[in-house]
Structure 1
Amino acid sequence: MTVTQAPPTTSTARAPAPRPRVSLEPYLYLLPHAVLFFLFTVYPIGYGLYISLHRWDLLSGTQPFVGGEFYRNIFTPGTPQADFFWKTLWNTTFFTIVSVPLLVAAALGLALLLHRPIVGRTFFRAVFFMPGILTVSVMGILWRWMFDNQIGLVNAARDALFSAPPIPWLSTEGLAWVPIVVGTIWWTLGFNMTLYLAALGNVPLSLYEAASLDGATPWQSFRFITVPMLAPVTLFVIVTTALASFQLFGQSLVITNGGPSRSTQSVIQYITEEGFTNAQYSSAAAMGFVFGLFMLIFTAAQFRMMARDVKEG
């Protein structure tokens, strides 16, 4: 009986895989943007934070470290910084609450009208879009003249039609918001309208045809087809319009100069006044960071809430 032995197995160790060679080419493409991003975003933010933590005086050779003193002033009742900052922040919030729903609703309504095959549709689209090409100074001067207390077009029309006395629009608290809100809507309506027009062109007509065959009314088609299909665009319009409204500056500066009694002064306008008129650079920098943090929280909450609604819809 012969016993055969299996040949001995030889184990060969695998050679280590070569490491991938790191290429510098992608980083060279990113380098120009990275340099500009650092110079115009990272460095200004860091330098602004440094200024807000020091008592910054251009005429003094030293800028002592004061920590959170200027931040405490913002949250300490009775200080001028707290009184004016929160007052102007409320003014800006009020403007946003009033203007954003009007801008979204008016833009959607115009888009629905101008999406139909009517005569002169292209002309009317251009008419509503053209005010957006004006600068804020031109727009502000125009609406300041229209609502002037004595020689404004609005008061002249009231006098011609109803023999009514002039209304002091620009010098009455509450009424001073009218030219700012109406002028802003007239000025920025065309952009949102264009977004809605583009979105309406992508809604399949077969959905409306199927709804019509099922006996749906125009209101039902709008509610259950148009509104859900436009939800992503509506989210974008609301967020961008709200952010633009919180950046209110030029309209109130040119039309009312923040008056009367700071009732229409925006928070950015007050921060600019604190820094460049009162020469309180550290205080203005601290206000800028507080307002920026507020904007970040507001934007994140708005995106989260409306993105959830779009997903569920």
Structure 2
Amino acid sequence: MTVTSPPRRAGTRTGERFSLEPYLYLLPHAVLFFVFTVYPIGYGLYIAMHRWDLLSGNQPFVGLEFFRNLFVSGTPQFDFFWRTLLNTVLFTVVSVPLLVAAALGLALLLQKPIFGRSFFRAVFFLPGILTVSVMGILWRWMFDNQIGLVNAAREAMTGASPIPWLSTEGLAWVPIVVGTVWWTVGFNMTLYLAALGNIPESLYEAAALDGATSGQQFRFITWPLLGPQTLFVFITTALASFQLFGQSLVITNGGPNRSTQSVIQYITEEGFTNSQISSAAAMGFVFGLMMLVLTAAQFRIMARDAREPQGKEAPGGEKA
């Protein structure tokens, strides 16, 4: 006797039914995402499109007026916003390559079986646990115009007069950049150390048998295999550098003449010192959109390079 199953309706699966359970697992994250991300963004956009006065209950709708101020030459918002944004870009362009190169160099050195390797790894990593205020006070004292350790050491060795680091445009960036590299290089170094530990030693042994030098081994083995880690380090470091705030605030307070003031520092000043909440909200939106575009471009360009097959020939005629 042949038993036939009942016909199924089109578009359904046997035993399939709607289950609420997966959505319940997603609900806590969805609630937090809405409360702490979607709602603040929407409310910030609402503030940016109204003339917001904390001392008055009247907030008239002004549309895109505060956004327009950022793109009309001659307004204070235009002058200071783009100037401080340029300061931030300058800091990022200088600090990111230093942080990537220094972290990779330290990782290559501390991967080798040298005496005290664990101690030196801790020495370079521990500054990262300091708060930005402690780090800023330390490097402000180091580069103080009169009693700073840098000027004292320079005077003791050469007899030269002190350099006014903190009050000279251009030179004021030195303690900020150097302090930031000292403060954060340990994290990137740790990422590179973990990545270097995952490269098979057999690749280096085979390259050495083929007569490859240390530089060739780095070029054809180490650097290509560190592509994903370099992508991650570069993007996270660039994003962190664009968020420059505490270092310039504590070390130079944005001076001299706003030459080291970051864009986030100016947005904070506009909102809480000048009481221009709506203008600060508009600046925050414009700066946030710039960060999104920059991040998308970095991912697209560098991820494409990381996916490209390594077709370069290594020493000995073999593909790397």
TM-score tier by shorter-chain length is over 0.9
Correspondence 1:44-83 to 2 at 5 A: 44-83=40-79
Cα distance in 1 for residues equivalent to 2:180 and 2:44: 31
Correspondence 1:214-229 to 2 at 5 A: 214-229=210-225
- 1:153 equivalent in structure 2: 149
Stretches (4+) displaced over 6 A: none
C-alpha spacing 1:15/1:191, structure 2 compared with 1 (3 Å) = closer
% identical equivalent positions = 80
Q: Residue type of the partner of 1:148? A: D
Q: Residue type of the partner of 1:119? A: F
Q: Residue type of the partner of 1:290? A: V
Cα distance in 1 for residues equivalent to 2:270 and 2:15: 57
- 1:90 equivalent in structure 2: 86
Secondary structure at the counterpart of residue 255 of structure 2:
coil
Q: Note if 1:234 corresponds to 2:220.
A: no
- 2:318 equivalent in structure 1: none
Query: Alpha-carbon deviation of 1:20?
Result: 2.8
Cα distance in 2 for residues equivalent to 1:19 and 1:280: 60
- 1:37 equivalent in structure 2: 33
Cα distance in 2 for residues equivalent to 1:99 and 1:66: 39
Which runs of 5 or more structure 1 residues have no equivalent in the other structure?
1-11
11, 14, 19: which one aligns with 2:7:
14
Correspondence 1:117-132 to 2 at 5 A: 117-132=113-128
C-alpha spacing 1:205/1:15, structure 2 compared with 1 (3 Å) = closer
Q: Residue type of the partner of 1:224? A: F
The alignment yields a C-alpha RMSD, in angstroms, of 1.4
Secondary structure at the counterpart of residue 70 of structure 2:
helix
Spell out, residue by residue over 1:127-146, the C-alpha distance to the aligned partner (whole angstroms, 9 max, x if none): 00000000000000000000
Q: Greater Rg, structure 1 or structure 2?
A: 1
Q: Residue type of the partner of 1:298? A: L
Secondary structure at the counterpart of residue 140 of structure 2:
helix
Cα distance in 1 for residues equivalent to 2:228 and 2:39: 34
Query: Alpha-carbon deviation of 1:29?
Result: 1.2
Correspondence 1:252-271 to 2 at 5 A: 252-271=248-267
Cα distance in 2 for residues equivalent to 1:133 and 1:259: 27
Query: Alpha-carbon deviation of 1:26?
Result: 1.2
Secondary structure at the counterpart of residue 61 of structure 1:
coil
Cα distance in 2 for residues equivalent to 1:38 and 1:277: 29
Cα distance in 1 for residues equivalent to 2:29 and 2:76: 41
Cα distance in 2 for residues equivalent to 1:182 and 1:279: 33
Secondary structure at the counterpart of residue 32 of structure 1:
helix
TM-score normalised by length of structure 2: 0.93
Cα distance in 2 for residues equivalent to 1:119 and 1:60: 67
Secondary structure at the counterpart of residue 60 of structure 2:
coil
- 2:315 equivalent in structure 1: none
- 1:191 equivalent in structure 2: 187
